[in-house]
Structure 1
Amino acid sequence: MTAPTPRRAVLVAALAVATAATAASVPGGGARAAGHPTPRAGGRPVDNRFWYAHRHWAAGTHHGTTAVDGARPGLRMTSAVGRTEYADPHTGRRATWEYATWTSPVHLSAVPATEAIASWNADTPAGTWIRIELRGTYTDATTTPWYTMARWASGETDIRRTSVDGQTDGRSTVWTDTLAVDAPAAAGGLRIAAWQLRLTLHRRPGATAGPTVWLAGAMASAVPDRFTVPASTPSGTARELAVPRYSQEVHAGRYPEYDNGGEAWCSPTSSQMVVEFWGGRAGADALAWVDRGYSDPQVCHAARSTYDAAYKGCGNWPFNAAYAATYRGLAGVVTRLGSLTDLETLIAAGIPVITSQSFRQEELTGAGYGTAGHLMTVVGFTAAGDVIANDPNSPDNPSVRRVYRRREWENIWLRTKRAGTGGKTASGSGGVCYLYAPARPAPAQIAALRSVGVL
């Protein structure tokens, strides 16, 4: 019916560059960081930083990589700096790969963070894949190890895309797609003050071409624990975007090898709605594997293309954003927003937003179900400020459009704690969302993304 109970706490994704002094190389995990920075104060509990422009890719440390310009700047391999053997834990296949690396400058977070999530957009032709790593600098000036946040390819012929769960240094741990401080509730406790990424681009030995990375970054956040959030004031402006409507439920029982079939496909179904809103559509070749008797084969394709072999599900948030960005001219990131006012700003600029929420059935009037974690797409607001959502947990495509009460919806999305079944305390997403927009957004879209803290 809805997505399985999340194995991660709450996720994050993208921040802004630091000075050359803080970009100095730091030895392995636990070493004292050179020029350890003091975190800046900031109003939002979220800090986003993404590299995507030619000048961004030209910065950092290159080993066999280079920044390329053009309509969509990116990072590419120029030469291999070494070879490595990778034994895929999900297929048992071993293969040797050439690789090159790019290490970002150290980014000083505006928020001493309890969590961080990486996002990336890349092209990985057959015979290529990428590894995304993140290293944090704690507020006590020591560093984490280089944590693998993903081994990723858009296809499945070379490796299975996968998270690497359970990596830890005893003070922070990777949970699927989230790096989380282990004891975030401690007052004045350890936080992540700064971080950097390392991208390793792989190709088959002797090949002349490799992957291209168009965007990479992370979101760091420290959203306070809360069961309720203050009510926002509606803008009073009604607007609804013409986002396609797809039901996950019509796919129930289809392709159970991908997260037990359509009943768990809220995330890829939502992703597909927004991909098609921006004009993305899978070609006949990409859909040829889908049973011809199945409706909306592109939703099946989205589920397969977002499947995380370690998580054994299609709900890995950065994998969904990376899938969206495989469509020409589209970019995708995972972040957190702070209010329904932020959502209204994006809708006014023509940008639909995929949001994550959890709730008991009685907490969201008209939903007709409860969930430990569910994705839906906000497509507009009524004049009264109520939320118009394309909710994939619907029996068919026409019934996907829902109108939910503003105050109820706002609370189930933005809270971090909730009363679960049997009186137990459960987690909430704290405003997590996917943002998919043109890689070259219009001025009004740039203004909106900047207003909500993404640019």
Structure 2
Amino acid sequence: MAMRPLRAAAVAGVTALAILGTTSPAGAAKPATGTTTSAHDEQITWQGWSGAAWSAGAAAGTAVTAAGLTLGTPIGTVQYKDPHRSVRRSWAYGTWTSPLTEVGFGATELVASWNADTPAGTWLQVELQGTYTTGVRTPWYVMSRWASGDADMTRTSVDRQGDRTSSIWTDTFAINNPGAGVLLRAYQLRLTLYRDPAGTASPVVRSVGAMSSTVPDRFTVAPSPGHIAWGTELAVPRYSQNIHAGQYPQYGGGGEAWCSPTSMEMVVEYWGRRPSPADTSWVDPSYADPTVDHAARMTYDAQYGGTGNWPFNTAYAATFPGLEAKVTRLHSLDEIEHFIAAGIPVVTSQSFLAGELDGAGYGTAGHLMVVIGFTATGDVIANDPASPSDDAVRHIYRRDQFEQIWLRTKRTTANGGTGTGSGGIVYLIKPTTVAWPSVAGSTNW
């Protein structure tokens, strides 16, 4: 069962930056980790820009409209050689750079996410420059080269980026050795919007932001008390990734590896949106649930070689009218309960041995599923795409087990070694007309 490995195991293969005239920072060693255990003492914040907040940044060739940030009069053209197609093409471009933004604590990781529309002949790049607690700045790191479609360029992350202190691991900025004491204090995000010089269509970015966090190394976490949404279950559609086994292996090995887009598609369709028949017309008509095949194709990251890039999945969800989505971390199942009480299902990332989650019947180094509710006694109701059929997707998992495998950052592997955990990673997706739940003290969504 091929699923998303968590960060320490996620990078496979390398490529240099392909914007002509730039060079890639030297690669860095895998982040060091320890083996301590702690309770809920993580620090998490999510900061972003949209609407009137665009004016706080520095624009060059971009303009703000009612729809969002778009290209105005481009500042020039650049040649981009697509490393996955060996095609070189000229693009007109403009940029927007966020103000220097203080995290508020020393962070060890950052994940950027965005909501945008990229019509045919357009795409965008998201970059990050961090400032360490020493005051030294990182290089400008490419966090994504993205388009909602795949006709004009290849959607991709960029490997082999780093300095002595930090590295980019597919979709995650990470401090290499947090124990050395140099952490992320502040950052800027830079958007570059591209369009065909002969065209008139432009990308429109509705929002961009980043989750910064410090989650201590821990094998276990203190259980949360709950009683916020017990007895509540949301009517989320059920899709199995496993029935797609063998389909379109060019997208990360095929359906058996599609836990992330399958989970995302369930939530998109819960909100009443879905790919159109024209969108899925390329799918073999004998295949069930063609919207899942479409989601896999539209979240595929050519450098990562799979569909598990976290912000590529939320960006896909946000291409549907009226939806917004982001990647962040949550502190506990209590926070998920607040979302369920507000009618918002939550996609979670976890890793576990087969014996650590009763009823799952498998183990995984990294897997996504959808929390859709809680039983009357507080256990987790999840749509788990790693199921043999759509009808079998709904599972009830023990609350204590689920909270551990989702929130921990360290785990014991089947061979007795030490593996990693997501530390509470989630996808949050909702209509713009639905309010985020208000939880005292939470700044992580």
> Do both share a fold (TM > 0.5)?
yes
More displaced stretch, 177-186 vs 118-127: 177-186
Matched, 1:58 2:55: yes
Deviations 1:374-421 (A, max 9, x none): 000000001111000000000000110000000000000000000012
Measure the CA separation in 2 of the matches of 1:416 and 1:4.
Answer: 15
Matched, 1:201 2:179: no
Measure the CA separation in 2 of the matches of 1:230 and 1:7.
Answer: 23
Which consecutive residues of structure 1, in runs of 5 or more, have no partner in the other structure?
A: 12-28, 30-42
Task: Find 1:420's aligned residue among 391, 397, 413.
Answer: 413
Matched, 1:121 2:115: yes
Runs of 4+ in 1 over 3 A off after TM superposition: 6-11
Measure the CA separation in 1 of the matches of 2:371 and 2:165.
Answer: 36
Deviations 1:66-123 (A, max 9, x none): 1112xxx410111110110000000011100000000011110023101111001110
Letter in 2 for 1:453: T
Task: Find 1:447's aligned residue among 419, 438, 444.
Answer: 438
**Identity of aligned pairs, percent?**
55
Letter in 2 for 1:272: E
Letter in 1 for 2:213: S
Could you tell me whether the CA contact under 8 Å between 2:132 and 2:182 is conserved in 1?
Answer: yes
What does residue 295 of structure 2 align with? 302
Measure the CA separation in 1 of the matches of 2:192 and 2:74.
Answer: 11
Could you tell me whether the CA contact under 8 Å between 2:114 and 2:315 is conserved in 1?
Answer: yes
Paired residue total: 417
Name the SS of the counterpart of 1:131 in structure 2. strand
Deviations 1:411-439 (A, max 9, x none): 00000000012111000000001000112
> Relative to structure 1, is the Cα distance of residues 335 and 153 closer, same or farther in structure 2, using a 3 angstrom cutoff?
same
Task: Find 1:215's aligned residue among 207, 216, 220.
Answer: 207
What does residue 179 of structure 2 align with? 185
Deviations 1:124-183 (A, max 9, x none): 000000000011000000100110000000111110000001201121110100011111
Letter in 2 for 1:48: W
Measure the CA separation in 1 of the matches of 2:114 and 2:335.
Answer: 23
Could you tell me whether the CA contact under 8 Å between 2:6 and 2:420 is conserved in 1?
Answer: no
What does residue 435 of structure 1 align with? 428
Could you tell me whether the CA contact under 8 Å between 1:355 and 1:375 is conserved in 2?
Answer: yes
Which consecutive residues of structure 2, in runs of 5 or more, have no partner in the other structure?
A: 12-24, 26-40
Could you tell me whether the CA contact under 8 Å between 1:357 and 1:375 is conserved in 2?
Answer: yes
Residue 451 of structure 1 and its aligned partner are, at CA, apart by 6.3
Two-structure CA RMSD over aligned residues (Å): 1.7
Letter in 2 for 1:51: W
Residue 286 of structure 1 and its aligned partner are, at CA, apart by 0.6
Measure the CA separation in 2 of the matches of 1:4 and 1:410.
Answer: 19
What does residue 241 of structure 1 align with? 234
Could you tell me whether the CA contact under 8 Å between 2:120 and 2:201 is conserved in 1?
Answer: no
Could you tell me whether the CA contact under 8 Å between 1:346 and 1:352 is conserved in 2?
Answer: yes
> Relative to structure 1, is the Cα distance of residues 9 and 198 closer, same or farther in structure 2, using a 3 angstrom cutoff?
farther
Residue 330 of structure 1 and its aligned partner are, at CA, apart by 0.4
Task: Find 1:356's aligned residue among 334, 349, 356.
Answer: 349
What does residue 21 of structure 2 align with? none
Deviations 1:52-73 (A, max 9, x none): 2x2111221010111112xxx4
Which aligned pairs between 1:75-90 and structure 2 lie closer than 5 A?
75-90=69-84
> Relative to structure 1, is the Cα distance of residues 60 and 127 closer, same or farther in structure 2, using a 3 angstrom cutoff?
same
